[in-house]
Amino acid sequence: MLSTARLNADLAATLVAGALDAGVHDVVMSPGSRNTPLTLAFAEAANDEGRLRLHVFTDERTAGFVALGLARSTGAPVALLCTSGSAAAHYLPAVIEASEDRVPLVILTADRPAELHGCGGSQTVDQQRLFGVHVRHFRDLGSPATAPDLAPVALAVARALSFARGPLPGPVHLNVPFREPLWAPEVIGRPARSPVALPAAALAPLAALAALAPLVAALQAAERPLIVAGPLAPDRDLTAADARRLIAAAARLGCPVLADATSQLRFAGDAGTTSVITSGEALLRAPVVSGFLAGFPPDVVVRLGRAPTSRTALTFLAGLPKSTRVLHVDPRGDVHDPVHRAELVVTAPLDALAAALGEVPASVARTAWAAAWKRAEAVAQAALAGVCADGFWAGAIARTVAEHLPTGAALHVASSMPIRDVDAFAPALPTAHPVYANRGAAGIDGTVATALGLAMGRRSRVVLLCGDLALLHDVGTLIATRGRTEPLTLVVVDNGGGGIFGFLPIAEHPTAFERFFLTPPVVDFAAVAAAAGARFTRVEDLAGLREALVASARRPTGLDVIACPIDRADDLARHRAAWAAVADALAHDSPPDTSSFAVYMRERTHE
């Protein structure tokens, strides 16, 4: 009869072999005792296979978000491994984000055997279905039996990975109880391998061009079509090449594209020749535009991906007349329609959408419509460039960071105000850059860890724009970066707390605002950066920020923290001044042709 230690090793080896066969190339693990068999099996596979990368983080919360960033950047499932007890509970925020954003994670939780449950066994909690509805699949593999029948284990791993990489990808959870002894010297050497050939699941398109036919027909008949593109994942949802194809097709059709900063259409390159509208937040706030749209609303709106980041855009969609047809296309089969306007939801890859739009003939009727939006975009961008060149505030910082991304760099944007400022103030760029954000659950937790995982997976520079609270919320990850070589630049907008609440009515509360909502931190960012072994720069103006960004880009490795302290009241005033400047510029725009909203409205009114 095999020893318990050998049974543990054989089960672990079977599980690891199955994960490798199903496309797992990265494992993020945290130290512990009960996960010893799996830790050793992964270490053996890494030495033996040469196609497995192991990443060790002592904090499971950091590990979860690092795995999230890795899986996002590589497109492959990433395994998470921890010991028993409360350790796995720290994965929950990352699991929720992965579930909402369809990111494949394979969570492997070691556990105590059944006889230690319900009797006060140390470090023993109920890990059954620990992550509830937030995983696609759960299976408890049971403790290794006396008979070495590993076929059920192999099939269980194959099934779990098929869910992780399937039509609705996301996290899966395998719970693995081990009895002691967890390891013994007798098991050194090559353990048993899986006796079952494990199939690797592949993500297949859920829809063909035929599924897009109703949408194509609607656009073909439209006189005032509009595409509203929400957050889309780089490469997984939309590649840079397909983004350019989609933009070109929309431009030829006379169909403006209101592009969220994370839609991958904003920073797709070739900015000067597209129909991309980057100033939607400012435009939709302006009286000239709202008046125009009241008289001449779009007759067909095509929604892409997740709901827009901008609350102003959501209000616009909610207020569309019933005569406007709203059609939703999502490459992963999700429904993101919080305003409940979509009459049709099409699941189709966006390269298929680009091809389908390429078949729709151009129309003279749409020329003036597209020209009006393009003119308004030019006027708004000129106004925004002016207000962002003056002063040191969050909108100007967001625009500066976007305009000074190093070649080949990715941008990761924290939730709360940073994502809104990039969306509102960053223009289209002449070079392509992928933009990432945790928009699945839209929380600020794990921001630094996600960016680190992205840098590890991409193996190129990632620039993170975040607020002071997001950095403090993940300060443990910052310390964990000490000694790492991934090129990572953190730009921290330090507005003294939860500045986003200053834009809400609660800011007028006479007593509760500062203590319960603003929660101003008391921290020395220079000291925190020093503890992490990071290079720290404090900048006081845009010129200093540009210099710091250039200096960071020249360094091939390591972490840079660039702190941007701003005045919260001044920041709020400058946001409001920016909207007013755009509204004023549009109201006084007098172009020599028929390309402004006002001229379009006047001409159509007299037809």
Residue 454 inside a domain? The answer is yes
Average pLDDT over residues 454-459: 95
300 and 254 part of one domain: yes
pLDDT tier at 512 (50, 70, 90 boundaries)?
confident
537 and 422 part of one domain: yes
155 and 214 part of one domain: no
* 458 close to 407: Cβ distance less than 8 angstroms: no
346 and 423 part of one domain: no
Provide φ and ψ at 535, rounded to 5°. Answer: -80, 130
Residue 572 inside a domain? The answer is no
**Secondary structure of residue 9 in the 3-state scheme:** helix
pLDDT tier at 199 (50, 70, 90 boundaries)?
very low
437 and 348 part of one domain: no
User: What angle, 0 to 180 degrees and rounded to 10, lies between the N-to-C axes of helices 60-74 and 92-100?
Assistant: 20
Residue 521 inside a domain? The answer is yes
The pLDDT value given to residue 207: 40
Which of 367, 382, 404 is the last residue in one of the domains? 367
81 and 221 part of one domain: no
Residue 588 inside a domain? The answer is no
| Least confident interval from 80-84, 358-362, 580-584 | 358-362
Gap between the Cα atoms of 455 and 237, Å rounded: 19
* 130 close to 89: Cβ distance less than 8 angstroms: yes
Residue 383 inside a domain? The answer is no
The pLDDT value given to residue 503: 67
| Least confident interval from 106-115, 332-341, 598-607 | 598-607
Determine the structural domain holding residue 504 and report its residue range. Answer: 394-566
Residue 589 inside a domain? The answer is no
Average pLDDT over residues 262-279: 83
Gap between the Cα atoms of 557 and 263, Å rounded: 28
134 and 272 part of one domain: no
Residue 580 inside a domain? The answer is no
| Domain count across the chain | 3
Give the CATH number for residue 327: 3.40.50.1220
402 and 551 part of one domain: yes
Residues 6+ apart with CB under 8 A from 573: none
Average pLDDT over residues 468-484: 90
* 81 close to 27: Cβ distance less than 8 angstroms: yes
pLDDT tier at 592 (50, 70, 90 boundaries)?
low
**What are the pLDDT digits (tens) for 40-94?**
999 989 987 677 999 999 999 999 999 999 999 999 999 999 999 999 999 999 9
List, as one string, the DSSP characters of 340-395.
Answer: ---SEEEE--HHHHHHHHTTSPP-GGGHHHHHHHHHHHHHHHHHHHHHHTSS--HH
Gap between the Cα atoms of 91 and 73, Å rounded: 19
268 and 142 part of one domain: no
Gap between the Cα atoms of 71 and 85, Å rounded: 25
Which of 187, 222, 243 is the last residue in one of the domains? 187
404 and 332 part of one domain: no
Q: Is 75 left (phi over 0), alpha (psi -120 to 50) or beta?
A: left
476 and 517 part of one domain: yes
Residue 512 inside a domain? The answer is yes
Neighbouring CB atoms inside 10 A of 496's CB total 18
Give the CATH number for residue 87: 3.40.50.970
427 and 352 part of one domain: no
pLDDT above 50 (res 1): no
Which of 187, 220, 239 is the last residue in one of the domains? 187
Gap between the Cα atoms of 188 and 182, Å rounded: 12
User: What angle, 0 to 180 degrees and rounded to 10, lies between the N-to-C axes of helices 394-403 and 367-388?
Assistant: 110
